[in-house]
Structure 1
């Protein structure tokens, strides 16, 4: 997890004289959590030879800390918007910003974070390329969120759409988090491509595991009721595996009524277990995680490379 220096930098970037923005910013800093995305950025930098005490690069560790803060700002801005879109009551056990302050404050605070992100990027070496990369990732995130609603509206369920959605929701930002240090440090194409592949495949495995837990996890462990995706009309991987099979009509009916009848979620869980689509989902998660780990072979062995591989390995058995 990023250290106190990361949190200090976050506070500096999010400082505002407007009380509501300042409160939301401080909540973000103190909320804790694993901070996976900035962690990936800092580990990727270390895997390339950078570090607080390293002399192998021409860039200071402070620049890399700033880059990791930019990654977290993009993530946090998207969460502020997501909570509003999803009508969420809680985020990491706390009342969501839009419930506490209203829609306008929540949306504008997210936009404030994006503006501060741009300000941070503007002062970095290689700013134009980094800004383009962040802009591209942000557009993919937006497209993924909108496509998710479009698929549910049109009942246009397919693996192609699902993979595009989860790439936008999760993998695009982890891909950026992993490759941005290579851009800042001027790493060669093979190292940048390796980290890009790692971030993308790790992100896909991460989101697929989240989706599987949403259907088949334990409520006490995941901290929310199971079946949330079904109630939003989202067909995730274990559900898509049921389509085209003997229960196709029943599964489509449950999706299209957004699991609105008593027993719908329980029935989908039973079907997933009966037809072993939970197993085929876990196999796809394993495949993606292994691709992520294999991509790191292009980098020299190091504790940071090992730590990145461990993040992907964790998706094989994560329960929350």
Structure 2
């Protein structure tokens, strides 16, 4: 897809947001909320929801189009985009609260919401209001659908999974207390699957599947949702390992930011791989220097990563992950569509994998 086509696709998706924003503000107004509360909520929505890459939200629309096998009608597009914006609201809820937990300074190139003048701890309630908007919108637009409860359960389940992942991450790798004995590749895998893979990969696809009328089956081995999950969770894991590697190996010009995983004591794939490979002397270097707010300590960790061949280890991991995921995609049955009904297609997963494989940013 050309850069121009991507920009047009993003713009069409962004054009749906003002209507969703207005619907939420109208709800406050209809309930007699004062003008300053309505304006505050509008600022909260504007500041925290539309500014990111929007990959998760756009994935709902992309998946719906693949499943339908055609361009969506205007009504179908709006409903798919609305579900996409619900994913972005969930993302905003996570980020606003996460930034407070981490005491982060900036997000998306501007001060974190809680650091804005006059916001502070009100951001806790603001994050709740971003989450609550999801269920208000789904009720307004999907209550009459047979899959309405599936949408609710999917969002609730995915939110809980992500919060479990966040808990494991917070108690394993607090920024102000380094204890590498808590780290392991297995712990990393658990954090990644729960904190990232479910909401970033499975959630958008499953939403599109429900909207397109794909039904559950009584046996898990043939259920399209279980099949989708079995592919998308490993795909999400691969994406995060790739992200961890780029934080260490990518240049700021390439990835658009300065990598901070080492100084922030992140339970990254790189440090966990290093821990698995390190000699006692190398382990001592990791214990002494990892998670320190010190450029020289960070440089020592990077030098150790080079010594341990982390780049080559990653290249081997990436090829193995690609082959494994392609193998999983091949298990998707080529079921012919009957009476125009949507069926699960390999292309859904291949489109994700193509965007990720060998990415440099």
Q: Give the TM-score of the pair, scaled to structure 1.
A: 0.85
Deviations 1:196-225 (A, max 9, x none): 334323322222122112222212333433
Task: Note the C-alpha offset of 1:51.
Answer: 5.7
Where does 1:38-187 land on structure 2 (aligned, <5 Å)? Answer: 38-49=57-68, 53=72, 60-101=76-117, 102-123=119-140, 124=142, 125=145, 126-152=147-173, 155=180, 156-173=182-199, 174-187=201-214
Task: Using the TM superposition, give the Cα deviation of residue 88 of structure 1 relative to its aligned residue in structure 2, in angstroms.
Answer: 2.2
- Asked if structure 2 preserves the Cα contact closer than 8 Å seen for 1:176 and 1:196, the reply is no
Change (3 A) 1:309 1:97: same
1-side partners of 2:46 and 2:333: how far apart? 37
User: Residue 218 and residue 53 in structure 1: after superposition, are their counterparts in 2 closer, same or farther (change >3 A)?
Assistant: closer
Partner of residue 22 from structure 2, selected from 5, 9, 12: 12
1:5 positional shift:
4.3
More deviation, 9-18/161-170:
9-18
d(CA) in 2 for partners of 1:267, 1:277? 14
1:276 aligns with 2:309: yes
Q: Indicate if the aligned counterparts of 1:243 and 1:252 stay in contact, CA closer than 8 A.
A: no
Higher RCO by CA contacts (8 Å cutoff, separation 6 or greater): 1
User: What is the distance in 2 between the residues matched to 1:42 and 1:49?
Assistant: 11
Contact preservation (8 Å) 1:195, 1:295: no
What is the CA distance between 1:313 and its match in structure 2? 2.7
Alignment partner, residue 360 of structure 2? 319
Task: Name the SS for the 2:127 alignment partner.
Answer: helix
Moved more, 196-205 or 286-295: 286-295
Structure 1 partner of 2:242? 209
Distance in 2 (alpha carbons) for counterparts of 1:13 and 1:295: 41
- The offset of 1:35, in angstroms, is 0.9
Gaps in structure 1 of 5+ consecutive residues: none
- Superposed structure 1 runs of 4+ greater than 6 Å apart: none
The verdict on how the C-alpha distance between 1:270 and 1:139 changes in structure 2, with shifts beyond 3 A counting, is same
Count of residues in Structure 1 that have an aligned counterpart in Structure 2: 312
Question: How far apart are 1:24 and its partner, in Å?
Answer: 2.5
Q: Tell me if the contact between 1:47 and 1:305 (Cα under 8 Å) persists in the aligned partners.
A: no
8 Å contact from structure 1 (residues 167, 200) kept in 2 = yes
Q: Deviations over 1:1-53 (max 9, x none)?
A: 4424433444235536532321121234552x431111221122122216654
Gaps of 5+ in 2: 1-8, 29-34, 217-222, 337-342
Partner of 2:220: none
Question: 1:230 deviation in Å?
Answer: 2.2
8 Å CA contact 2:188, 2:267 repeated in 1 = yes
How many Å separate the matches in 2 of 1:159 and 1:67? 34
